[in-house]
Structure 1
């Protein structure tokens, strides 16, 4: 038996407060389909959300899990990271079941999107929580009569206890593009240590990743997304961000499931889906 979840408000914006029977919790905004909180059962907050972030219609939120669609960063003619994170999404379903809580939101093309991206599409975000696990799926269907292509990411901000002792495991042997230094490279070490600005697109991710943060471990899996983006602005750029407090960069690391280096190509009627799963272990 499932119990419907009603729309409430969070920081003045429409939101869904997901609560699983085991105590896991998450907060999903209809603004941008933006997940701003994930608290696994018996644990504390796992996502970083900037206390200086604006919660306003049409504006991006700093932290949580922004939805990047249909363009990653400035790799195309659209505004940075596309338009999905600033648009209102529509509720499809939200319910708490006997084992989990689930919400699905939908974004379809409208006059404003077609002015900058002339395609008919339907995108959905599905968020499921249970126990110590979170699953986020982004799906897109081409509803038009012409092919379309896009890049996308789930721009997940993970909370850190101490940046100097944090590391990411599982990238060994992967080729990457270093966007901060504009050069290609290959990851040699098993543990990626954080020692300043980090902005890399790792390609063809094959294995799970593990965030190691003191005695905390978060397992990160993805399906459908070929790339993984690892980002931290570092001190100079982080402290220059108007929507992040001084030193806020020390409290976060973005580990993003992404499709950047090879855009998704959809023929009319075709669809695609990609998922990121997080588990506190």
Structure 2
């Protein structure tokens, strides 16, 4: 072979490489989407429910709690991760439009479409690689099963975006009324955070805030004290943080901040831990798993959001990994 000293650089054995890029894959027989940043952070989402089932930092440490008995085959809603609640939080027997829907609606039990990815490059980094990747998922009336269509016969469109960054995770949802009449909805990001020891956890950002205690009979409305919240028994509360959505709600463990949650257009924060009642749930494991999780859930669930024909609504959360 004749040596050509001026051959094109593209043919040189050693060529300048592309900046590191986020890797996005569709796996498990087209049922999951995963993304990994060049620095190692990762996220995994089931198309069933668009449920986030894993979020890991650059060292591979898991940030979300997922029950050992969680159904990941599309047979039922996932116990753990981040299920998306829509169009009703819990059950609302007195709200005619959603009265016949199952617990937490149909978004978490419907198969979503993966709409694609987009990335952003890091600034001021040595490698110049991708610093975030956004994954978009879509759900509309046409994706629903017949039972859900019959129970909630409204034309709608949802776009759910999951953005993985080097310092955290952002989830946002756009809701559009694609029909000719108005309808109402609720939405919630049911985030199960993984912690080491619930007895050492405190939650700040809820001080002096109004909250609904769903464990009292009848359900009561109270105002939280000025101290941080600690968990020592079963809890199921809907807070309206006094500082508003932009003020962070911080989960700390042993006095050290662990996660910080800020919200956009999501005025409520649900705090839930089943305590020992978790052992009676068929899909909750291990039985003492309540020690290693706390749900701090950003949502719009106090009252109803109303959309007229053609209108859209958007809300989201940013979870920063403080550790």
TM-score bracket relative to the smaller structure: over 0.9
Do the aligned partners of 2:188 and 2:297 also contact (CA within 8 Å) in 1? Answer: yes
Q: Name the SS for the 2:279 alignment partner.
A: helix
CA distance in 1, matches of 2:182, 2:83: 26
After superposition, residues 117-128 of structure 1 pair within 5 angstroms as 117-128=152-163
**What is aligned with 1:188?**
225
1:100 aligns with 2:132: yes
Gaps of 5+ in 2: 1-18, 94-98, 121-129
CA-based RMSD: 1.7
Give how far 1:44 is off.
1.3
Of 169, 177, 200, the residue aligned with 1:134 is 169
Q: Determine the C-alpha separation between the residues in 1 that align with 2:54 and 2:181.
A: 37
Q: 1:197 aligns with which of 220, 234, 237?
A: 234
Other-structure match for 1:156: 191
Structure 2 matches for 1:223-238, cutoff 5 A? 223-235=264-276, 237-238=277-278
Please identify the structure whose Cα radius of gyration is greater: 2
Q: CA deviation at 1:3?
A: 6.3
Distance 1:99 1:57 in 2: 31
Distance change (3 Å), C-alpha of 1:55 and 1:42 = closer
Contact 1:134 1:277 in 2 (8 A): yes
Runs of at least 5 residues in structure 1 that lack an aligned partner in the other structure: none
The 5 Å alignment of 1:1-281 reads 5-9=24-28, 14-42=31-59, 44-76=61-93, 77=99, 78-97=101-120, 98-110=130-142, 112=146, 113-181=148-216, 182-203=219-240, 206=244, 207-214=247-254, 215-235=256-276, 237-245=277-285, 246-281=287-322
Task: Give the conservation status (yes or no) of the 8 Å contact 1:19–1:96.
Answer: no
Is 2:265–2:316's contact at 8 Å kept on the other side of the alignment?
yes
State the 1:83 CA deviation. Answer: 0.7
Does the Cα contact within 8 Å between 2:22 and 2:132 map onto a contact in 1?
Answer: no
Contact 2:25 2:35 in 1 (8 A): no
Q: Which string of whole-angstrom CA distances, capped at 9 and with x for unpartnered residues, describes residues 70-128 of structure 1? A: 11001241110001101000011125542211100000003623211010000111001
Could you say which structure has the higher strand fraction?
A: 1
Count how many residue pairs are aligned between Structure 1 and Structure 2.
278
Q: Which runs of 4 or more aligned residues in structure 1 lie more than 6 Å from their structure 2 counterparts after TM superposition? A: 1-4
Give the secondary-structure state (helix, strand or coil) at the position aligned to 1:50. coil
Deviation, 1:226, is 1.1
TM-score of the superposed pair, with normalisation by structure 2: 0.82
Check the 8 A contact 1:40/1:130 in 2, yes or no.
no
